Amino acid sequence: MNYPHPLIAREGWPFIGIAALAAFVAQVIGPLFAIPFWLIFFFVLQFFRDPPRPIGGLGDGSRSIVAPADGRIVAVEETDDPYLKRRAIKISVFMNVFNVHSNRSPMDGEVKQVWRNPGKFINAALDKASTENERCAMHLVGADGQDVTCVQVAGLVARRILNYTEPGMKLARGQRYGFIRFGSRVDVYLPLDSEVRIGIGEKVYASSTLLAELAKPPHV
Q: If we measure between CA atoms, which residue out of 167, 163, 183 comes closest to residue 175?
A: 163
Average pLDDT over residues 61-85: 92
Note whether 183 and 129 are within 8 A (CB).
Answer: no
Q: What share of the chain is helix, strand, coil (3-state, %, to 5)?
A: 20, 40, 45
Distance (Å, rounded) from C-alpha 37 to C-alpha 28? 12
What is the share, in percent, of the chain residues with pLDDT greater than 90? 48
Distance (Å, rounded) from C-alpha 102 to C-alpha 7? 11
Query: Above 70 in pLDDT, residue 130?
Result: no
* Residue 184 a catalytic site member: yes
Tell me which of 47-51, 69-73, 174-178, 191-195 is least confident: 47-51
Tell me which of 47-56, 70-79, 155-164, 167-176 is least confident: 155-164
Predicted local confidence at residue 128, as pLDDT? 61
What is the pTM for the complete model shown? Answer: 0.82
Average pLDDT over residues 132-160: 83
Among the listed residues 62, 184, 194, 207, the single catalytic one is 184
Predicted local confidence at residue 153, as pLDDT? 87
Predicted local confidence at residue 14, as pLDDT? 84
What is the share, in percent, of the chain residues with pLDDT greater than 70? 85
Which residue type sits at 163?
N
Predicted local confidence at residue 3, as pLDDT? 47
Domain 64-213 in CATH 3.30.110.30? no
